[in-house]
Structure formats: C-alpha cells, structure tokens
Structure 1
Amino acid sequence: MHKFMLNNFIFNNITILFLTTAVLITILTLISAWKKIKNYKSLFVVNFIFFLISFGIVVSTKNWFIFMIGWEIISLTTALILIWDSKDLAWEYFVIQFVGGSFLILTILVAYTNGYHTLGPINELWLQLMFIVGVGVKSAIIGFHIWLPYIYKRASASFCSISSALVAKLGYVILLKIITNGNRALLYLGIIMIFYGGIKALANKNYKLILSYSSISQFGFICLAIGSGNQYGYYGAVLHIIAHAFAKSTLFNTAQNWILKFKSNSIFDFSASLKELNINTISTIIAFLSLMAFPLFIGYNSKYLIKYSLNSIPIFKFLLHLGSILTVTYVFKVLSIIFLADYKEKSIEKKVELNYQLSSLENIAVLIPSIILFVLAIKPDLYLDYYFKVNYLSAFITTSIYILIAYLIKIPLISRIKNQ
C-alpha cells in the first residue's frame, strides 16, 4: 500500500494546502446548507463525503487513470447536488461535464502515447492546447464558459459554492502541473476572461449572475498567472485559487441568505442588510474586499504576485491593472447598493416581515472562511514554503487609485442598471 501511494500520489505543501481548503469549504458549505435542505439529508451528506474524497484524489495523484476516475466521480457527485434543486438542471450539468470529460480522456490518451506516462510537465505546445480545451469545458475557460452563469443562476448556493470554489478550479490545478514554462494562449485567454466576466458582472443586477461572471473573471487571473510561466506566476496562481475559493464560497453561501431573506435575486432589493443580517453582511464585505485585492487580505497577495510575474510583458501588466480596476468597480457597485444606500422606495418594515433568521451555525459557516481570508495573508511563506515581501504603502496607494476610479465609474452606472 505504501509503495502504491508513493508511485501514484504526491503530498507536498501545495497539495496539502488544496486539500485543507477543500475540507474546510466542504464542511462549512454543508453546515450553511443544512437548514435549507428539506429531504434526504443523510444522502446529501454521503454525497458530499464522496465528493471530498474524489477531490483529494484528483489534486494529489500523478496517475492519469486515477485522475480521470476521480474527476468523473466529482462530476457525478456535483451533478447529484443539483438534484435537490432540479433533476433537469442536474442532467444538463452532467451532460456538459461528460462532453468535457470525453475530450479530456482523448487528450490524456494522446499524451500517454507521446511518452507522458504520469501527470506532470508537458513541453509540446499543441498538446498543452489540447489540455486547455479539455479542461476548458469543465473549468469554464472563455469559449466554453456559457454553462456556468446558466447553471449558477438556477442552482442552490451549496452547489455554486462547491462548484466555483473547488470543482471549476480543478482544471487550473491541472494546468499548473502540466504548463510550467508559460503559454501565450493562456495569457490571451486570461485577459479576455478578466474583461468579459468583469463587464458582465458590472452590467448585472441579479446577484447570483454577478457572482457567476465574477468567477469567470477571477479564473482569468489564474490563467494569466499560469501563462506567465515563472515562479511568481506559479505561487500567484496557487494563492489565487485559495483566495478565490474562500471568498466565493463565502459569497455564494451568504447570497442564499440574502435571497431567502428578501425573496429576490436583485441587489436593489437587499435593504437594511447590516441591521437584519449583520454576520452575513460582515462576511460578505470581507470576502469582497479580498476579491478586489484590498491590502491585508490574501486576495491582494495573490494578485500582487500575478502582476509581478508579468513584469517582462508590460502590455499584459497594464491590462491587468485595468482588469483590477474593473473588479474593484463591480465590487464597489454591489457594496454601495447593498450596504451604503437604500435605493428602494418600499418600506423596510415590509421586507423584514419575510424574516428569514440565520442560526448560530449558519453564521459561523459564513464567518470562518471570511476570517481565513485575513489570516492567510499574515504569513503566506509559512504554508507556501516561499517568501515574498509586500510593500503595503504602495499597495494602499494603488488600491486607493483603483477605488477612486471605480467611484467615478459607479455614479452613472448604477442608475442605468437599476432602470434595466
């Protein structure tokens, strides 16, 4: 057994970091979803356990056969989560994942016949491109992304949390392992994803769609990091996978609480949020601050490394700054509408009558991952085994400029979105 594990699995700092993240997010999502599940709760838990085991297998194995079995089990278990929402939706999602999996199996067979007998660095550009297409469907790379907002808009928070935070990231984890010297195509795809997802998030008032398109945009930052092909990009991608996982699991789980409270998906209907759902509000704000790369949160550390990885490609670094401003703008839009102003003319009392109350466990489930976003930023070298120094004075100056530009963009934007 020891020999089998040694020959087929790798356990290093990065693998353990991914596994720990998956365990925490899965448990906290299950807690957050528990009161909202009406039937077959034990089956729901069993399904989550199988998902977690399969996720651990996929991120740690170097055996192609074990890898594919594990990922297809993940596709099945996440499709089963959707059954609690809609059988038709679960079937549609499974078919999409099956199509992506089929091409990925073909790609793995091609890689194997070309001498790549274990999951590791691949040198041929054409084969790297095949893998980008193979994981693209499952991980919503631009061009294969259409399913993500379609499914997320209709799915429960528990599915969206697990999918955006963990499942859709698997493709990028694999690309990290096989593309070690950079890939120009990923750079272009990453930029397109950042701007496409950001603009769509900016133009929407449906909260779940905002979070969906935001996921696509944030995946673009990971693509850029992997495409850079240097050490800064590698660790930037690892950190951003973790940062986005905790941020987006928090945001989707808190989103479900907003929706249940106010019986609406529109951010313009979320009134008196701080008064009514204070822990939910605090957790949401923290997660958004990390997402927009505010200093002192792990989301800043990850984007700092990604920007540094592009020093040798000035045009991409400039575009990355623009993409970061776009992220700050849609985050600022959401925060200002939900928390800083009341755009509704309807009485707050009428909305409070809906009165969905969060349990202590639900509050803990959304608060813990938001706190982790701050804790992870304190000493990332302790768990990365890689040291980098952040100039926080420069960080706050840059972020202040981003916020000022976002504020100027936000003023005419909100009125237009509200009237759509």
Structure 2
Amino acid sequence: MNQSVLLIFLPIITSLIIYSFKNKLILSFIFINQIILSIIAYNTYFNVLENGEYKIVFGGYSNVIGIQIRVDMLASAFIILAVIIWWAVLLYSLEKIKKDHTFGFFLLFLEGVFLGFIQANDFFTVFVFIELITILATILIVYKKDGHSIRAGFYYLLFNSTGMMFYLLGLALLYRTTGTLNIELSQQILPKLNMNFGVQLAYVLMVASLGVKSAFFPVYNWLPKAHGAAPSSISALLSGLLVKSGVYAFIRIGLAFDTAILNDFFLYIGLLTSLGGTIFAISQKDLKQLLAFSTISQMGIMIIGVSTLSGYGFIGGVYHMFSHAFFKAILFLSSGYIIVNAKERRVTEIRGVFKTYPGMSILMILGLLSMVGFPMFGGYISKDIVKYSVKDFGLAYFLFSIANIGTIIYTLKIMQIFRGEKKEYKKDFKVYIGLLILTIPSILLGLNPLFIESIFRVRLVGFFGEFNFRYILEFLGYFGFGFIIYKIYVENEHPIFKKLRHFNITFETSVFMLIGFVFSMIVYIYI
C-alpha cells in the first residue's frame, strides 16, 4: 500500500525540492528518487507476480464512490517501463536540468502523475490524471518558447482537451447508468445491462477521446506537430510512454464493457492508422517528423493487436507497446542529440554520423532493426504475434504486410545519415548511458518473451523457441521489395512525396474529423 502511494508522491515531492532549492547538490535527489522508484517497481512486480493484484481505496470510503488504485501484472509491468524510460530521459537531460531546475521540476512531476495514472482504477481518476499529463506535457512541449513550439503545444492542448470533453460526457452517461465510476464494479454491472444504447454511447464517447490521446486514424494530426516542436527528451517521453496512455486506458476501459461489436472496427482503424503513418513517414525529410509519423504507424500495429482485448493478438499488441517504447525512445534521444550538434534536421543533409558517433550509431541501428522487426530484435516477436492474429483476415494480413514494407522504406531513408566523413561534434557520455539503459531491455525483449509471458501467465509457443529461417526469408523478401521501391521512388523523391510532406490539416478540420470518428462508431454499431 505505502509503496503504491510512494510511487506517485515521491517524484512529485522530489520535483518540489528541486524547484524550491536551486542548488547543484539538489540534483542528487534525482538519482535518489529514481533508485528508490526502481526498487519499489521491482518489488511491486515480483510481489504481484507471487501474490496477485492488490487494491487500495483512499479516505476510508467504499470502492463504489472512493478513489481506488489497483496494481495487477499489467500495471506493475508498465510501472517498470515508465521508471526505465524516465531514467534514460533524466540522464539525457541532466545538463539542461543543471542550468534550469524548472525543467527538472516538470519532468519529475510528470513522472509521478503518470505512475498515478497507471494505477488508477476508477474512470474519474483516470480522467484527472490524463488531464494533468496533458497540461504538463504541453508545458514541456512549449518549453523552448519559440513560435513553432508554442503553436504545436497549444494545438496539442486544445485538441486533446476537446477529446477529453467527449470522455467526460461518456463518464456522465456511465455513472447515470451504473451508479459507480469504479472500473472493476462497472465490469460486473455492465454485462447485465446488455450494452443498451446509453452504455454503448458512453463507450463510444470515451474511446473517441482515447483515440485522440493515442493518435488513432483519423485524429492523429496533433502528434507530428507536437513531436517535431518538442525537445528531443520530451519527444522520447511522448512517443515512448505518453502516447500509449490512450491505449492503456483503452484496454482498462474496454475490459469493463462488452466491446465485441467494435472489434473489427478497431482492427481496420489500426490498419488505416499504420498505413497512414507509414505513407507520411516515407514522405518526410525532417528526421524528427519522420520518427513522429513512424510512431503513428507503430501505434496502428498496437491498435490492431489490442482491438479484440483477448487472445494472442492482444498479447502481441501489449508486447509491441513495450518494444516500441524502448526502440523509439532510443531513436528520438539519439536523433535529437545528432540534430543539436549537426545543426541540421534533414535526413538528406545529415552525414557522417557513424564515423562521428560510432557507439551511438550502433545503438541507433539496433533501434532501427527493432523497428523493422528484424529477427532476434525487439519488435520482431511482437509484430509476428500481431500478424499471426490477422492471418485469417485476408485484406488485413495484406495491408499489415504493406505497412511492414513501408517501415523498411522509411528506415532506409533514416540510415543514409550514417554515410559520410567524420565531423567534429560534442560528445556527452551521460547520453550514452541513457541509451544503453534503453537498449538492454529492447534486446532482451527480442531474445526472450519471458517478461511478457509473466504478465499474461502464458507460454508464447510457436512465436519463439527454435530459431526459424522463415523469419529471415520473410524479412529478406520484405527488405528486397522495400529496397527497390526506395531506390526508384523515394531516393529520387517522386513528386507525390513532396505534396504529402506539405499536406496540412487545420484545427477546425481535425475537430470535424473527431466528430466524424464518433459518428462512424455509432453508425458501425447499428448497421
């Protein structure tokens, strides 16, 4: 009990100490904070593994009306993920925090809020934590205080807040129907209501808002704007963790409803999200924008997997949430470091990275191999499980394969930065330590699915075990096809890619697309 509370309040208290006492020695509190959180996360995970989940209701109230936190295997695993990602981001940002303690204050405050969100077990507390995450993330996105970051930050804030208004409406409908906002109690009550219109509408409104948080098609336009403008450490947090808050809540809320009627809908939303992100990623020249659209593409794979909220596809979707968190954080942190030192953002202009930063380049290449799902790397098992889950859906399987080929194409576009002669750039070994912290679990997830198996208490037989040459042959086929397309159409930039790169969706259009997303779900339920 005390440990769960400490996970939330220790980072917040540490952030207040850093902000209040602007002394360099105070930075040692960051390391003390992270060490304690790491110990708690480790103990929590193994405690839940051995003894099962535990729940706490604050204030002596009943769970019908009280604020409750719940830690099960999924929550404990995400706590470990969050602590690892924050370790890397804090090490990467240490020089900035030394000069500007306020930046460290917001980073650590956000860590406490996110750890609270993971443990929340009632719909309203989820809403409060998501709103706090949105506000804190906005402050960090606009932190550079230039025109580009301020526009992107307020776009992020306004659009996500608009989305959460739908969540609040769904929350009111749900409470009127069930008389409680507790997720676990709702899970017991809702099946008896046979998903009547009020319950269905509540679910649609809540899921639409979560679709905004996780950049579902067609409400993903905020993500590349925010990622492109934010400091690289914040882009790593956004892509590695914060954008997954919507999928995590989608899982938690979906398990309380009978959502089978929308399974196929979200399967194809995932496919459209993955394909749309892939196509726009291929068209980009800005390295961070390319990685941002890549995040949308990878989110699509997660949505495909978790759409059923059961079975191997669900396991694969969650698996990919962890794999993507590590390799995308590696790519954003390393790319940000390269951009700052090279003073250039275009992949067509950045050169000599491998000879200048050989160690960082190796870690970045490992992240890229994980992203394309190369056998024995982070993303290959998770992608293979998700692909297996749609093998009986002919069109879905075909489109999934197309998205995989697209991932190879934009990865080849990124890899051109490693060519060229050595440059004289600054080196900071604390950044390398942060990248190593991310690389080790990324590789372990590719070599062995034990961690994911422990969450679901299953054996992933058939997806791992003996190394199978099918993986290599299939990947080589995808790679060959992707390489041909890259050389013919992408390297010489077909005119369509220039048009796609300059394509922009206004805020008003995005809001209409959000409303259309809501109505499309309602129509799908009743056709």
Q: 1:107 aligns with which of 148, 155, 170?
A: 170
Name the counterpart of 2:23: none
Q: In the alignment, is the contact (CA less than 8 A) between 1:228 and 1:310 conserved in 2?
A: no
Length, aligned pairs only: 408
Pairing 1:184–2:264 present: yes
| Number of the residue aligned with 2:322 | 242
Match of 2:478 in 1: 402
Question: Which residue is equivalent to 1:333?
Answer: 413
Task: Check whether the contact 2:218–2:273 (CA below 8 A) recurs between aligned residues.
Answer: no
Aligned residues of 1:57 and 1:70 also touching (Cα < 8 A): yes
1:320 alignment partner in structure 2: 400
SS across alignment from 2:447: coil
Identify which range, 167-176 or 377-386, moves more after superposition. Answer: 377-386
* TM-fit CA distance, 1:204: 1.2
Partners of 2:440 and 2:372 in 1: how far apart? 16
Moved more, 302-311 or 164-173: 302-311
Structure 1 residue aligned with 2:303: 223
Match of 2:214 among 129, 133, 139: 139
- Residue 361 of structure 1 corresponds to 430
Amino acid at match of 1:387: R
* Residue 149 of structure 2 is aligned to residue 149 of structure 1: no
Aligned 8 A contact 2:316 2:382 in 1: yes
* Partner residue, 2:460: 388
CA apart distance, 1:37:
5.5
Aligned partners of 2:313 and 2:119: how far apart in 1?
21
TM-score by length of 2: 0.73
Distance 2:333 2:245 in 1: 20
* CA displacement, residues 196-218 of structure 1 (integer Å, 9 cap, x when unaligned): 11011111111011001101111
Secondary structure of residue in 2 paired with 1:10: strand
Compute the displacement of 1:299 (Å): 0.8
| Identical-residue share of aligned pairs (%) | 24
Q: Is the 8 A contact 2:160 2:213 kept in 1?
A: yes
Query: Could you tell me which of 12, 33, 46 is aligned with 2:105?
Result: 46
- Partner of residue 9, structure 1: 69
Alignment-derived partner of residue 79 in structure 1 = 138
Which deviates further from its counterpart, 143-152 or 226-235?
Answer: 226-235
Answer yes or no: is 1:158 the counterpart of 2:230: no
Counterpart mapping for 1:241-280 below 5 A: 241-280=321-360
Moved more, 381-390 or 66-75: 381-390
Q: Alignment partner for residue 25 of structure 1, among 60, 85, 88? A: 85
1:162 CA displacement:
0.8
Deviation track 1:125-180 (CA, whole Å, cap 9, x = no partner) reads 54433222111222221221111112222221012111111111111111122335
Letter matched to residue 33 of structure 1: S
Instruction: Give how far 1:39 is off.
Output: 4.3
Does residue 375 in structure 1 map to residue 444 in structure 2? yes
Contact 2:78–2:118, Cα closer than 8 Å, also in 1: yes
Deviates more, 1:76-85 or 1:114-123: 114-123
The amino acid of 2:219's aligned partner reads: F
Q: What's 1:172 paired with?
A: 247
AA aligned to 1:73 is L
My pick for the range that moved more, 368-377 or 211-220, is 368-377
The alignment status of 1:299 with 2:358, answered yes or no, reads: no
Q: Which runs of 5+ in 2 are unaligned?
A: 2-54, 499-527
TM-score, structure 1 normalization: 0.90
Secondary structure of the residue aligned to 1:209 is helix
Q: Report if the CA contact (8 A) 2:169-2:205 is conserved.
A: no
Instruction: Extract unaligned runs of 5+ from structure 1.
Output: 343-347
Match of 2:183 in 1: 119
- Cα distance in 1 for partners of 2:493, 2:211 equals 31
Measured on the aligned residues, the alpha-carbon RMSD in Å equals 2.3
